[in-house]
Chains A and B, each alone.
Chain A
């Protein structure tokens, strides 16, 4: 940033890195458009004016899951998450939501990052008597858990719910992902012309379908572009107010940037991983959509009132 005098920051994946970088934005006079960072605090207590989030945040993802739960028949819940900020954060929101909807939250458990053997955790979930388990896992840990859960046939007894469904995982574990229900920040099977066009263009250029983060990044690019066009410059002081009022018709439908905490207000989606004839891997199928105002928390908040 300093060496080349950059003014725009884009594409940082890890929330922890984002949290570390955000205090320096004022010093660099640079705008940060997040396309992947989910941590609720970035538009909450750690908010800085130069930060904008075009993507769905962690709390919003969890919220979609909990709204879905109110319609679905599950009564008793268990939760397993990775033992660090995101895991605790998301499960905290989830626990809250379960209680608010009058259902029973049995217990939560956290696995260290890099856990390879989930047999103990699977045993605990099975023993708990839950009919659904909320998972907050990603990467290698997520793959290992799904593969092993399938080997123990856990899915037959307990419905597995997850905060994030991504194609990498599905590809890595194959059939072990079938039956998984989760909230999705973006899936190529979303309806709408904007998405169909994006997916077709992606297929043509890369030969495969776009995954979660790729879709989110596209949306973030569109928002950034709209902001820059409005402001006519990338100068932070001009771009900031322009971005605050950006609204686009995106691959996820209508998305509006909110001025008070720079969170893009957008719909929430639930998908189920199913087998589709003709496709090499299972695909996430859209099963529920929730309106933007129900899914996005109040300004600078990470939890919901109702």
Chain B
């Protein structure tokens, strides 16, 4: 808990020290961190590997983009609403995907994501097809409230969402619900034998996870000012999975660190060399071989202090 407060305080103070472009980068890192954390709920706590998480992200971005462009809904409302919408839609997705288990489950999530990608490409009126939605505004609230329109303001909004989501997730995984999830992760057959309807729990966690990912996407739309089909592409699903694993699955904090690490390395490498993808690939392979528990997992095993939290 102390670590959490310290981290939150540090993040809150950042806008006072950093130049504008670094602020933009940090905001993006937080958004990706939220995205990765949402995936961790499924991957780390229930061992449901989603290959299609970009679908949730893109859905959130398009939903929020449409709300902001076509209505005068205040930005925070649009963001939250988009996230909730994502979660509700994901109940259906979860129902279909949990028909299967293991690899088949993962493949179904990929199928759904690719279908959404194909649909988005064609549904010009809602998604702007391949061009996407551009010029997404940061709508003001009632009484002309606009503190979220500037860089620092938006950063705080993102930070608030991330912290809020984090605390929600933490309570969730510590609750009896979370215990059942871990039961499903460790030994589903036994959990069923204990009388739990594991399918329902799985659908629930898929909905929550996709909803939070949708929230992240919804933050991205007004952040960048646009939303396009790249946000639904399977490469992004692969990248966020990497963030979770590099950061440390099943820890909630790990994936956020993983996202920051990923973004940082990508920025740094791409400014040095055109072949940054090559180094990226090598780094991942090295991680898997030598640090499979991820950054946070590694830090936790090394530090007594860290072990006290989460």
Q: Do A and B come from one complex?
A: yes
B121 touches A112 (CB 8 A): yes
A84 touches B21 (CB 8 A): no
Does B164 sit within 8 A of A, measured CB to CB?
no
B131 touches A85 (CB 8 A): yes
B21 touches A2 (CB 8 A): yes
Cβ contact of B228, chosen from A3, A16, A23, cutoff 8 A: A16
Residues of A within 8 A of B134 (CB): 19-20, 23, 46
Residues of B within 8 A of A112 (CB): 118, 121
A20 touches B130 (CB 8 A): no
Does A83 sit within 8 A of B, measured CB to CB?
yes
B24 touches A16 (CB 8 A): no
Within 8 A of A (CB), among B112-140: 118, 121-122, 129-132, 134-135
Does A24 sit within 8 A of B, measured CB to CB?
yes
Cβ contact of A24, chosen from B19, B118, B129, B225, cutoff 8 A: B225
B225 touches A84 (CB 8 A): no
Does B226 sit within 8 A of A, measured CB to CB?
yes
Give complex CA distance A16, B24 in Å. 21
Cβ contact of A85, chosen from B19, B20, B24, B129, cutoff 8 A: B129
B228 touches A2 (CB 8 A): no
What residue in chain B is nearest A86 (Cβ atoms)? B130
Report the minimum CB–CB distance from A224 to chain B (whole Å): 24
- Residue with the greatest number of chain A CB neighbours at <10 A, chosen from B118, B130, B135, B225: B130
Give complex CA distance A83, B21 in Å. 35
Residues of A within 8 A of B22 (CB): 3
Report the minimum CB–CB distance from A132 to chain B (whole Å): 27
Report the minimum CB–CB distance from B226 to chain A (whole Å): 5
Cβ contact of A84, chosen from B24, B118, B121, cutoff 8 A: B121
Residues of B within 8 A of A23 (CB): 134-135, 225
Interface of B is mostly: helix
Give complex CA distance A19, B228 in Å. 11
B21 touches A16 (CB 8 A): no
State whether A84 and B19 are in contact (beta carbons under 8 Å apart), knowing that A2-B24, A112-B121 are contacts in the complex.
Answer: no
Q: How many A-B residue pairs have CB under 8 A?
A: 36
Residues of B within 8 A of A85 (CB): 129-131
What residue in chain A is nearest B136 (Cβ atoms)? A23
Interface size on B, residues (CB 8 A): 18
Residues of A within 8 A of B226 (CB): 20
B225 touches A16 (CB 8 A): no
- Residue with the greatest number of chain B CB neighbours at <10 A, chosen from A20, A85, A113: A20
Residues of B within 8 A of A20 (CB): 132, 134, 224-226, 228
Give complex CA distance A106, B132 in Å. 30
- Residue with the greatest number of chain B CB neighbours at <10 A, chosen from A19, A46, A83, A112: A19
Give complex CA distance A16, B226 in Å. 11
B121 touches A16 (CB 8 A): no
Interface range for A:
10 to 19
Give complex CA distance A240, B90 in Å. 49
Interface string of A14-54 (1 = CB under 8 A from B): 00100110011000000000000000000000100000000
Residues of A within 8 A of B224 (CB): 20
Give complex CA distance A85, B124 in Å. 9
Give complex CA distance A302, B135 in Å. 21
Report the minimum CB–CB distance from B252 to chain A (whole Å): 31
- Residue with the greatest number of chain A CB neighbours at <10 A, chosen from B19, B20, B131: B131
Within 8 A of B (CB), among A1-20: 2-3, 16, 19-20
Residues of A within 8 A of B20 (CB): 2
What residue in chain A is nearest B267 (Cβ atoms)? A3
Residues of A within 8 A of B132 (CB): 16, 20
Give complex CA distance A180, B172 in Å. 63
Residues of B within 8 A of A24 (CB): 225
What residue in chain B is nearest A3 (Cβ atoms)? B21
Give complex CA distance A84, B21 in Å. 32
Residues of B within 8 A of A16 (CB): 130-132, 228
A84 touches B130 (CB 8 A): yes
Report the minimum CB–CB distance from B45 to chain A (whole Å): 35
Residues of B within 8 A of A113 (CB): 121, 130
B131 touches A19 (CB 8 A): yes
Give complex CA distance A113, B132 in Å. 15
Report the minimum CB–CB distance from A29 to chain B (whole Å): 14
Within 8 A of A (CB), among B153-172: none
Give complex CA distance A23, B132 in Å. 14
Residues of A within 8 A of B118 (CB): 112
Report the minimum CB–CB distance from A110 to chain B (whole Å): 10
Give complex CA distance A20, B134 in Å. 6
Give complex CA distance A24, B121 in Å. 24
Within 8 A of B (CB), among A62-97: 83-85
Q: Which residues of A contact B (CB under 8 A)?
A: 2-3, 16, 19-20, 23-24, 46, 83-85, 112-113
Q: Which residues of B contact A (CB under 8 A)?
A: 19-22, 24, 118, 121-122, 129-132, 134-135, 224-226, 228
8 tightest Cβ-Cβ pairs between the two chains A and B: A84-B130, A3-B21, A2-B21, A20-B226, A23-B135, A85-B131, A16-B131, A20-B134
- Mind listing 12 A-B residue pairs with CB under 8 Å? A3-B22, A16-B228, A20-B132, A20-B134, A20-B225, A20-B228, A23-B134, A23-B225, A84-B130, A85-B130, A85-B131, A113-B130
Extra contacts besides A3-B22, A20-B224, A83-B121 (18): CB < 8 Å: A2-B24, A3-B21, A16-B130, A19-B134, A20-B132, A20-B134, A20-B228, A23-B134, A23-B135, A46-B134, A83-B122, A84-B121, A84-B129, A84-B130, A85-B131, A112-B121, A113-B121, A113-B130
